Amino acid sequence: MTRTKATAIGFTAILLWSLLALFTIGSSPVPPLLLNALCFGIGGTIGLIWTARKGFGVLRGVSWKVYAFGTVALFGYHLLYFTALRVAPAAETGLVAYLWPLFIVLFSTLLPGERLTRNHLAGALLAFAGAALIVLGRESAGAATPLGFVLAFGCAITWATYSILSRRLGSVPTESVTVFCLATAVLSATAHLALEETVWPGSTTGWLAVLALGLGPVGVAFFTWDVGMKKGDIQLLGVASYAAPLLSTLALVAAGIAEPSYTILLAAVLIAGGAGLAARKGSNAPRSGG
């Protein structure tokens, strides 16, 4: 597979993730752990069908440490994300969670051959200004709102770390994501039974939202992102990822879930612009410490 093709495949994950917030809200009032179990069960089933084409023997040579790493990352990220969207406003929380593209650019400087430039640092400050605008620009705040923003920030760190480390696991077959998904589904179901009250979707729309999550943002997207991270242009994908926050917010506004406002628009511009600046390579740059 060529680098260009792998990058294009990785980009499809970004398009799918722009619908993650919309479908998550549509799945309400399903609790986070149960939603995790349902969605990853669907995504893992898709992986089984795909893996069967090559044979399941491809999974035997993968270390249990890799399976543990992938499971913890996927389980942890989505538990944080689904919970964040339950306790804080959708558009604002989603934008904070979507700081992960910026962190991918910054963390990628720790990879061999990469450099930390002034553009990286300036972009980081600009994007964080966007996040601060979201937090400080709210007209009212309930008791749970600070928790929601903390959870969303944790999402960004978790996903960026998973993505960068995936690059270091380039020899691991993408089919291993099937195990990540199924293990996450089992772990989520177990935790749900112990910690949550079972609440199923209350309408056909809710069930369709759960199905859409499992097929797209919490299904195929993980496999295509893995291909992009391992075989594609990681910097280009980082730049492309910055379209996700704006697309996500526009989807929420179009669905009538979020109100259009200059605050959200400005925050989206700051985050996308800062991340784009961070992705540019400056000629006068200090060496990364990594």
> What is the spatial distance between Cα 84 and Cα 97, in angstroms, rounded to a whole number?
9
Of 290, 288, 289, the residue nearest 116 (C-alpha): 288
Provide the residue ranges of all domains of the chain, joining segments of one domain with +.
3-52+61-279
Q: What is the mean pLDDT of residues 201-210?
A: 94
pTM score above 0.75? yes
CB 28 within 8 A of CB 90: no
Is residue 282 predicted with pLDDT exceeding 60? no
Helix spans in 175-233 (H): 176-195, 204-215, 221-231
- What is the rounded average pLDDT for all residues in the chain? 84
**Could you tell me what percent of the chain has a pLDDT over 90?**
40
Q: For residues 275 and 158, which has the higher predicted lDDT (pLDDT)? A: 158
**Per-residue confidence (pLDDT) for residue 281, from 0 to 100:** 60
**Per-residue confidence (pLDDT) for residue 69, from 0 to 100:** 94
Of 215, 169, 175, the residue nearest 69 (C-alpha): 169
Residues 6+ apart with CB under 8 A from 236: 7
> What is the spatial distance between Cα 202 and Cα 279, in angstroms, rounded to a whole number?
43
| N residues, the chain | 290
Residues 6+ apart with CB under 8 A from 108: 114, 164, 167, 234, 235, 238
CB 158 within 8 A of CB 76: yes
Buried b / exposed e along 44-74 (16+ C-beta atoms within 10 A): bbbbeeebeeeeeeeeeebeeebbebbbbbb
Q: For the segment 23-69, what is each residue's pLDDT rounded down to a tens digit?
A: 988 998 999 899 999 999 999 999 999 999 889 999 988 999 999 99
Amino acid at 113: G
Is residue 288 predicted with pLDDT exceeding 70? no
CB 9 within 8 A of CB 228: yes
> What is the spatial distance between Cα 186 and Cα 40, in angstroms, rounded to a whole number?
9
Tally Cβ neighbours within 10 Å of residue 254: 11
Helix spans in 28-117 (H): 32-52, 64-87, 90-97, 100-108
> What is the spatial distance between Cα 200 and Cα 35, in angstroms, rounded to a whole number?
9
Residue 215 main-chain phi, psi, to 5 deg: -80, -35
